[in-house]
Amino acid sequence: MLKLDCVLEEVIFIDIENMGSWKKVEVLKYKAATMEPEKEIFSFKDGASEENKRFKEFIEQYPVIYYDQDNISFKDYGCTNELLNLIELAAILEPYMKSFYLKDILKEISTLEESEKMKKTKQMVIALNCLLSRLWIREENVPLKNRLYEQLKRENIYWIWQKYLISPPLFSTELYNYIKLEGKRESVNKRIDHKALSSYELLLRNEELWSSEGFKYVYRPEQENISKKIRENFQKGERIFIEAPTGSGKSFAYILTAAICSYENSRNKNKEGSNFIISTDTKELQNQLIEKDIPKLLKTLNLHNTVKYGSIKGKKNYLCIERLRKCEKIQGKLVYIFLKRLVENGEYGDIENINYWAYSYFEIEKYLDEVNCDSDECNLGKCSKPCYLRKRYNELPQENITVVNHSLLASWPYEEKREINNVIIDEAHNLMEKAYDFFADEFNASEIIRLLKLVDEGKPSILFILKKLNANYGYREQVDAISIKNKTAEIQFNINNMFNEIRRLKLKDKEYDFSDEINNCEYEHKAFLNSLREPLQKLKNSIYGLYRVINKNLEDIVGDNKDKSSEYNFINNYIAKLKGAYDTVDKFLSIDRENARIININNEYANFILRNVPLSVGDLINERILNNAKSVAFLSATLRINNSYKSIKEILEQREANEYTVNPVFNIKKRTKVFIAEDIGDYRQKSYVEKGASLIFEISKELSGHMLVLFNNNNRRDAFKRELEKKIAGTDIEIHTSKKAIHLLKDRERKVILLGSKSFFEGIDLPGDSLACVIFDKVPNVNPKDPLFKALKAYRNVNYKEYNYSKVSIRMKQGYGRLVRSIYDYGYFIILDGGNNRYTINSIEKDLNGPNIKNIPSNEIISSIGRDISIWQQENLRMLLKDMKREEIAKNFNGIAKCNSLFWEVSNEKENVLNFKNIKNQVKVTFY
């Protein structure tokens, strides 16, 4: 039996378990590091003063180490002990961890397999021992001034853990042989000879190759066909649309093709054929490909040391070491130490990968605009810091597979490092809608105001940099600071004048922002929008005035010299922004049939945005993204509208591209049910939110959470959140709205309802029991007054019925697709407001390829959902047990269930009886 010593003396470990009306508190007390701890269990109820007294006497004034999620409050017990948050320690010492769940921390830093079955207090002891020991080992050869303790002192940051950071004299890890030491490489089994790679997609038939412990791979002919089509498309240098439903394995299929084709062409010195760009719509899918799917496949194919891969995003998605160092707002705070330690070696820095707990706890969002990479100021070619983005930038030329998102692909700012040769576009349906945004010009009043402040208030200011440049050239010119300040003030005056004009609008519905197309506006907006032309003209002219005077000052200072200094580049970028703002307003005020001109006004009149949106995006996609591409594959589960590729091929100008459709993989008609709640009513009615929230709450009680509710706008989501928070008060049901909380649905012990808006419609992979119900607030119809649609109707004769249904179909298929992604998936798909258009519902029913859509009352949904979920869960249990031998079940079942995201657990009740439990489901199996 493991003797559990502690690296610290005179400390308390505490675990509080809420048992409803009372609390169970388990305490481990270490008087000395190598002594056996004293253990006590306390039971607290209201008014239990004797137990309180006994508890206080036992813990004395020892520092108390607790796990953050216990939400400990010692005020309840009248204690004043020092409280030490174990997760906070883990976050500062190992900031790059993906998860700060205790079990995940242990998996990352400990080799002790049996720790998972230990009491929580003992797990905390092991975690503490590993965290501090790894720090002390790491800092053995680090200069004293660079050690964490000294950094905190130097930055004048007080941290409650600080005194425990210094390694004790003669410390040895002998007593703690379960510490996972850093730098040990994971061994990889060479499972395949490279000669076999010439089989390409035929490798997918080898079930033994792809199966692993706890995971039994099942061959799918559809997956092989997808991979084959992509390979042939690549080899012929063509373009193809492939609609592959969720669960068909399209991601794995295209990674297989990209990996093997890259390898084969690298061997043959064919550089063009040895690199692929994989573009996704969401950062979540981007991360999944890089962290899970690609490395797993490359290891299996023994290509992990041969095929190079990575992902890259826009600059603002990364932390900047230099801006972090200069940010006064963050200095002196623990969040500064967290971020500094995260980025200091250049191995981490992707903001998206910061752990959700740390992101919230340290309130990182408050500082992001001041510590992320600045798109204009960041010069990757000249940066000398150990920056993660710079590292990724310099790795691009050697990469075979680079994963990006659609937005970055549309602008592709890294052309000097990486050409776009072969492109695989996943979630390609998003190009139909988002391409309009990708290629739009935008004038944002708030951004311009921020730009103006840089003239005199920037650190450093535009005037300061101009004067510095002038000094570098021997003061050959006089910087015209007065003219620059006057022109800046003139722009500010004209922006204020615009705000005064805008306030005359007097919005009727202050819940939403105002938006309209200036040349095809609603009749009641016409006079108002026409009145904005004159102040916009003055604003445009004043922007040009500032642009001209700064540009002249720069030209006079530099002359014919080819200046490459950072000061010159900074001013040049500033001038380019002013010119861009001028051009956007100028274009907005002109009239042509090629662009929509859309104005957005904040509902509190705090900002206005002018957008010029091109209506022929297909030409721009071909010209700016795919112009030099040798092969392109467009993939998605939702490419066809009314069973046709016509719409997407016309919008993207890919009329000659090939097509391939994969039939549904799973029996979704038997594993899902689709309902419209007929008694919730129209979404505009006052009772809608209360009725809808009541249904969601009742379903959450039946399912113990594990629900995703999707909304067409944030205001409605927030209204539901407020109503649901009233209903869940006093329960253990949780409401979350952040996409970073998705992983909570995978936790068997937590009852989570996730409320999401448009960004949640895709990029969410929640297999098995993690997700049992998806709810739509309403059929996502396009408002006929949508500004972009009005321009398309006026200039391109676009029909509303077709335009609307193309959006509705994609959204509904996206939402429904969240439910079924593996053979073990199941669930309810519910629409709160189905509208009155039976044509739309019938069309949705056909496009979903699922069960019939039924209109039924809420109470019938509530009464049937628990029963149906139980049946599907028991079907999953039978599938799991089907291929398992009796003697394997007790040993392997829980691991296999967990690997497939199923909440079933087995225990031995008697020698010949196994007890299987899910959250609300129990099955006893007797063997004879």
DSSP 184: P
| Structural domain includes residue 674 | yes
Please give the average per-residue pLDDT across 418-438, as a whole number.
91
Residues 791, 680, single domain; the answer is yes
Residues 71, 204, single domain; the answer is no
- Residue that the structure tokens 């009248």 belong to: 78
What is the side-by-side strand order in the sheet with 751-756?
733-736, 751-756, 707-710, 773-778, 827-833, 672-677, 853-856
pLDDT in tens, 780-805: 999 999 999 999 999 999 999 999 99
**Looking at residue 873, what is its pLDDT?**
96
Q: Are 784 and 800 in contact (CB under 8 A)?
A: yes
For the cut 70, the answer to whether the pLDDT of residue 297 exceeds it is: yes
Residues 602, 650, single domain; the answer is no
**Looking at residue 569, what is its pLDDT?**
86
CA dist., res. 870 & res. 764, Å (int): 24
| Sign of the alpha-carbon torsion through 453, 459, 463, 465 | negative
Instruction: Give the residue ranges of DSSP H helices in 140-202.
Output: 148-154
Q: Are 812 and 781 in contact (CB under 8 A)?
A: no
CA dist., res. 552 & res. 571, Å (int): 12
Q: Are 277 and 422 in contact (CB under 8 A)?
A: yes
List, in order, residues 6 or more apart from 743 with CB less than 8 Å away: 99, 356
Given its phi and psi angles, is residue 510 left (phi above 0), alpha (psi -120 to 50 degrees) or beta?
A: alpha
**Looking at residue 382, what is its pLDDT?**
76
**Looking at residue 510, what is its pLDDT?**
67
Phi, psi of 903 (to 5 degrees): -90, 5
pLDDT in tens, 51-69: 788 888 898 899 999 996 5
**DSSP H/E element including 178:** none
Q: What is the CATH number of the domain that holds 121?
A: 3.30.420
Given its phi and psi angles, is residue 920 left (phi above 0), alpha (psi -120 to 50 degrees) or beta?
A: alpha
A 10 A CB-CB count for 303 gives 21
| Distances from the Cα of 554 to the Cα of 393, 455, 489, 574, 915, angstroms | 30, 14, 20, 11, 79
pLDDT in tens, 349-383: 999 899 989 999 999 999 998 999 987 678 787 78
Q: 425: which strand partners?
A: 279, 634
pLDDT in tens, 120-174: 999 999 999 999 999 999 999 899 999 999 999 999 999 999 999 999 888 888 8
Which tokens belong to 356?
């959700």
Residues 204, 79, single domain; the answer is no
Please give the average per-residue pLDDT across 175-186, as a whole number.
76
For the cut 60, the answer to whether the pLDDT of residue 747 exceeds it is: yes
pLDDT in tens, 46-55: 656 787 888 8
CA dist., res. 431 & res. 639, Å (int): 10
Closest of 317, 429, 315 to residue 379, by C-alpha: 315
For the cut 60, the answer to whether the pLDDT of residue 79 exceeds it is: yes
Domain end, chosen from 870, 904, 920, is at 870
Q: 424: which strand partners?
A: 278, 633
CA dist., res. 795 & res. 816, Å (int): 34
Q: Are 423 and 626 in contact (CB under 8 A)?
A: yes
List, in order, residues 6 or more apart from 687 with CB less than 8 Å away: 681
| Structural domain includes residue 236 | yes
User: Average pLDDT of the chain?
Assistant: 90
- Residue that the structure tokens 């949904």 belong to: 861
Domain end, chosen from 836, 870, 904, is at 870
Please give the average per-residue pLDDT across 261-270, as a whole number.
91
| Structural domain includes residue 302 | no
Task: Encode burial over 807-824: b for 16+ CB neighbours within 10 A, e otherwise.
Answer: bbbbbbbbbbbbbbbbbb
Q: Which long-range contacts (CB under 8 A, 24 or more apart) does 45-48 make?
A: 45/21, 46/21
Residues 606, 632, single domain; the answer is no
Q: What is the CATH number of the domain that holds 739?
A: 3.40.50.300
Residues 465, 579, single domain; the answer is yes
Residues 711, 853, single domain; the answer is yes
CA dist., res. 163 & res. 165, Å (int): 6
**Looking at residue 734, what is its pLDDT?**
95
Closest of 844, 854, 776 to residue 804, by C-alpha: 844
**Looking at residue 577, what is its pLDDT?**
94
Cis, bond preceding 535 (omega within 30 deg of 0): no
A 10 A CB-CB count for 457 gives 10
| Structural domain includes residue 78 | yes
Domain count, the chain: 4
Residues 91, 202, single domain; the answer is no
| Structural domain includes residue 92 | yes
pLDDT in tens, 3-12: 788 999 899 9
What is the side-by-side strand order in the sheet with 276-280?
309-311, 401-405, 276-280, 422-425, 631-636, 239-243, 658-661
Given its phi and psi angles, is residue 867 left (phi above 0), alpha (psi -120 to 50 degrees) or beta?
A: alpha
**Looking at residue 804, what is its pLDDT?**
93
Domain end, chosen from 854, 870, 886, is at 870
| Structural domain includes residue 655 | yes
| Structural domain includes residue 54 | yes
For the cut 70, the answer to whether the pLDDT of residue 339 exceeds it is: yes
Please give the average per-residue pLDDT across 71-78, as a whole number.
59
Residues 543, 608, single domain; the answer is yes
Confidence of residue 295 (pLDDT cuts 50, 70, 90): very high
Q: What percent of the chain has pLDDT over 90?
A: 63
pLDDT in tens, 829-869: 999 999 988 889 999 998 888 899 999 999 999 999 999 99
CA dist., res. 444 & res. 288, Å (int): 33
CA dist., res. 88 & res. 99, Å (int): 12
Residues 594, 520, single domain; the answer is yes
Residues 745, 805, single domain; the answer is yes
pLDDT in tens, 771-786: 999 999 999 999 999 9
Question: Greater confidence, 424 or 181?
Answer: 424
Residues 465, 604, single domain; the answer is yes
pLDDT in tens, 392-422: 999 999 999 999 999 999 989 898 899 999 9
**Looking at residue 912, what is its pLDDT?**
81
The DSSP annotation for 271-337 comes to: TGGG-EEEEES-HHHHHHIIIIIHHHHHHHTT-TTTS-EEE---GGGBB-HHHHHH-GGGTTSHHHH
Residues spanned by the domain of 209: 194-275+628-661
A 10 A CB-CB count for 877 gives 21
Confidence of residue 693 (pLDDT cuts 50, 70, 90): very high
The DSSP annotation for 788-820 comes to: HHHHHHHHH---HHHHHHHHHHHHHHHHHHTT-
List, in order, residues 6 or more apart from 121 with CB less than 8 Å away: 13, 14, 15, 26, 27, 28, 39
For the cut 90, the answer to whether the pLDDT of residue 476 exceeds it is: no
CA dist., res. 306 & res. 274, Å (int): 12
| Structural domain includes residue 296 | no
pLDDT in tens, 873-892: 999 999 999 878 888 888 88
List, in order, residues 6 or more apart from 881 with CB less than 8 Å away: 889, 893, 925
CA dist., res. 33 & res. 10, Å (int): 8
Q: What angle do helix axes 566-589 and 462-472 make, rounded to 10 degrees?
A: 130
CA dist., res. 591 & res. 517, Å (int): 12
Which tokens belong to 838?
């039976």
What's the N-to-C CA distance of the chain in angstroms?
Answer: 35
Closest of 752, 689, 698, 742 to residue 716, by C-alpha: 689
**Looking at residue 47, what is its pLDDT?**
57
pLDDT in tens, 300-321: 999 999 999 999 998 999 999 9
**Burial of 443: CB neighbours in 10 Å, binned 0-12, 13-18, 19+:** buried
One-letter identity of residue 1 = M
